[in-house]
Amino acid sequence: MEVEALVSGADRAVASGDLGRAIALLEQAAQSRPDDITLWMKIAGMYRGTGNLRPALEAIHRALAIAPLDFTALLMRASLLQRLGDPEAGEAWGNALAQKPDSELPPQLAPVVAEAEKRNAEWLDQREARMKRVMAAAEQRADPEARQRIERFRSNVLRRTRPFHSNPTHFHYPGLVEREFHPRRLFPWLAEVEAATAEIAAELKIVMTAERAELVPYVQYEDYLPMDQWRPLNRSPDWTAIHLLHKGARIDANARHCPRTMALMASLPQPQIAGASPNAMFSLLAPNTAIPPHVGVSNSRLVCHLPLVVPDGCWFRVGAETIHWHPGEAFVFDDTIEHEALNPTNQLRVVFIFDVWHPDLGDVEREAIAAAIGMEGGAGGQTL
């Protein structure tokens, strides 16, 4: 008998309530067409309907052998394991959710997905509790920096977060430590920068009201260039900058109003690269504006933020780490790791931004990097 006839016979058996006959016909069809995932899914459903969970699980495993990432099959597997009381059920729910399509799901799957999310969350909570118990002794002896890494390790293992890596658009220097936010101990000058917050903020007010000051869109590039990460904000007035130093050049129209800020910049380890650096600017983000996820030009330099005017609710994400800016609290991050920002308020947000060398680099490496990037014209016209 042909496969189609066997399937039609199985459908008639189901309609008459003879699930045993339907299963027998479908299994006969699957012998002729063993790579047909639809047949194995139907067989699994039939066995589940008769309460025969083990044979149903075997059938769904046959389906997954054909299509290991099939979302519906993974959901059914997790559901069967849950009903069987199998300890692998929690992880199985997570495996299914990892393949959830971005498109809208059929309504009948909504309760199953809701159960998947609930069951997987319970399993993750239990697993996290066990991990905390076995790690507690070591974690208690760790210093704050090590404790933060331990917490992130645990979060990555649980897949609440994932690893992010440096992915510069132009210049990747090998062997540098990758950190989303770098520890303060590596930058002893941060305290001096923070101590100057009031003076820098005062100079911001002066330059913003000066007649000949220059306020320009933060992102400006030709439309034909392959830089899609910036397209929503290209030449946009919603994200603007008052440059003091731009690609190594002093912007005198602005810098002359900021003598204290300029003196501070001169004391810091900023890269000196023709056509590329140093950079220092006031970054103005308009109300209700998002900066989309993007990466920077070179991992040989890091970026420092000194928040000046920050309404409550403004946040900044680098990799898997999200923080809220607070006026006067500076930090250093790697902008070649994916990052984004949001000002969800009805007020302006202003942050002072400048670049510094990555602390892993010695003088000879800095010289080599500066020569190469300078020869390339400073990162193809890109800035921070």
Go through 28-59 and write b for each residue having 16 or more CB atoms within 10 A of its CB, e for each that does not. Answer: bbbeeeeebbebbbbbbbbbbeeebbebbbeb
pTM of the model: 0.81
The helix/strand/coil state of 90 is helix
Q: Find out whether 164 and 320 touch, Cβ atoms under 8 Å.
A: yes
pLDDT at 226: 42
pLDDT at 376: 77
pLDDT at 360: 98
| Nearest-angstrom CA–CA distance, 346 and 238 | 12
> How many C-beta atoms surround the C-beta of residue 106 within 10 A?
7
DSSP annotation of 103 reads S
Residue with tokens 């069951």: 119
Q: Do domains 3-122 and 181-381 have the same CATH topology?
A: no
Helix (H) / strand (E) element for 44: namely helix 37-49
Say whether domain 3-122 belongs to CATH 1.10.3720.10. Answer: no
Q: Find out whether 123 and 90 touch, Cβ atoms under 8 Å.
A: yes
- The CATH superfamily label for domain 181-381 reads B-lactam Antibiotic, Isopenicillin N Synthase; Chain (2.60.120.330)
Q: Find out whether 247 and 279 touch, Cβ atoms under 8 Å.
A: yes
Domain boundaries, the chain: 3-122, 181-381
The Cα-based distances of 278 to 12, 84, 130, 264, 370 in angstroms read: 77, 63, 48, 13, 11
pLDDT at 1: 60
pLDDT at 198: 97
Pairing of the two strands 331-333 and 181-182: antiparallel
Classify residue 69 as exposed, middle or buried by CB count within 10 Å of its CB (0-12, 13-18, 19+): exposed
pLDDT at 215: 67
Residue with tokens 């933020």: 305
pLDDT at 104: 87
pLDDT at 230: 46
Render each residue's pLDDT in the chain as its tens digit; 384 residues: 688 888 888 888 888 888 888 888 888 888 989 999 999 999 999 999 999 999 999 999 999 999 999 999 999 999 999 999 999 999 999 999 999 998 888 898 889 999 999 999 999 999 999 999 999 999 999 999 999 999 999 999 999 999 999 999 999 999 999 999 999 999 999 999 999 999 999 999 999 888 665 666 554 444 433 445 445 554 455 678 999 999 999 999 999 999 999 999 999 999 999 999 999 999 999 999 999 999 999 999 999 999 999 999 999 999 999 999 999 999 999 999 999 999 999 999 999 999 999 999 999 999 999 999 999 776 544 444
pLDDT at 373: 94
